[in-house]
Amino acid sequence: HIQDPASQRLTWNKPPKSVLVIKKIRDASLLQPFKELCVYLTEENNMIVYVEKKVLEDPAIANDENFGPVKKKFCTFREDYDDISNQIDFIICLGGDGTLLYASSLFQGSVPPVMAFHLGSLGFLTPFNFENFQSQVTQVIEGNAALVLRSRLKVKVVKEHREKMTVQNGIEENGVVSANLEKEVGKQIMQYQVLNEVVVDRGPSSYLSNVDVFLNGQLITTVQGDGVIVSTPTGSTAYAAAAGASMIHPNVPAIMITPICPHSLSFRPIVVPAGVELKIMLSPDARNTAWVSFDGRKRQEICHGDSISITTSCYPLPSICFRDPVSDWFESLAECLHWNVRKKQNNFAGEEEE
């Protein structure tokens, strides 16, 4: 029996009490929706609202006296400093697809259900409109919603210890070393949970990138080109789609391997089972280093002897649907990517039938 994707439903063991609100930073158009949502959550539903500290540092929020009483009820946190993973019942995102990727990065283990409102430039992963947010949030709180479990990639980067290490991009955006960084004898290990894709590219070098790709320990190919994208089905409509990959529904258990401008006429994108382990390393013949990024963040250099191991994570991101997983996906294909838009062919009107 094959499970119907539309059968996945949100169910609460107990009524949700705490919600994390993620707002796109430096976007004035989101201030009013953010305030309306927070007032509704705190005063109408008596919920504990978590927001990132830098959101409240926005002068338009900090200097709003009318919003002061609501703001005092917030719980705040700082990325890479405070662990809120066990304190959140569900997440509400206000912005574009980037807010959902950011929400994913905050939870390196289990992720609470995410409700994403389309208030950004691209809304492929954000199916909700904000106009009637009260009724939609109420339905989620009552557990009346469909879910799609978006698989993530578990990525382990192992770097050979070097006396002189490049620190410019090996340090987090806020200037501190990652909390999920371990050290072994002669090795440095970092782990990431990735929702869209891992991108390995040639960085600033003018040479081809030259990286080996292993599947379950066996060398399957060497990528000679601008790089390679390893993506989830969710990421198949992002960078991978621009590089010529197929678009895969998020309910399909798979990992996609897509070359970026390969210097080969026969290197087509491939799809492999979700259960495999991929490993990417610089080829021994590589003339230069490579660079890697994870959902567009944490960019760092990969040198000879370093490795990137990629498997499907056991912690997917539960994304709350507007209608159901299939309808929402095709709606996004049509609205955001204008999939298969073409003028209709005319029939042979006026000709006599034979």
The set of catalytic residues is 97
Q: Residue 9 is encoded by which pair of tokens?
A: 């439903």
135 phi, psi to nearest 5 deg: -65, -35
**What amino acid is encoded at 123 in this protein?**
G
**What amino acid is encoded at 133 in this protein?**
F
Contact 211, 290 (CB under 8 A): yes
Question: For 135, which DSSP code?
Answer: H
Please tell me the distance from the alpha carbon of residue 8 to that of residue 20, in angstroms, as a whole number.
Answer: 23
Contact 47, 16 (CB under 8 A): yes
Look at strands 270-273 and 254-262 and give their pairing: antiparallel
DSSP secondary structure string, 182-208?
EEETTEEEEEEEESSEEEEE-TT-SSP
Of residues 108, 51, 165, 28, the one with CA closest to residue 295: 108
Contact 102, 52 (CB under 8 A): no
CA distances from 324 to 71, 129, 251, 260 (A): 34, 15, 12, 33
Residue in the block written with tokens 């963040």:
297
Residue in the block written with tokens 């609470």:
112
Contact 85, 108 (CB under 8 A): yes
Please tell me the distance from the alpha carbon of residue 269 to that of residue 305, in angstroms, as a whole number.
Answer: 26
Q: Residue 105 is encoded by which pair of tokens?
A: 């990065």
**Cα distance from N-terminal residue to C-terminal residue, the chain:** 48
| Angle (CA) 70 127 322, round 5° | 90
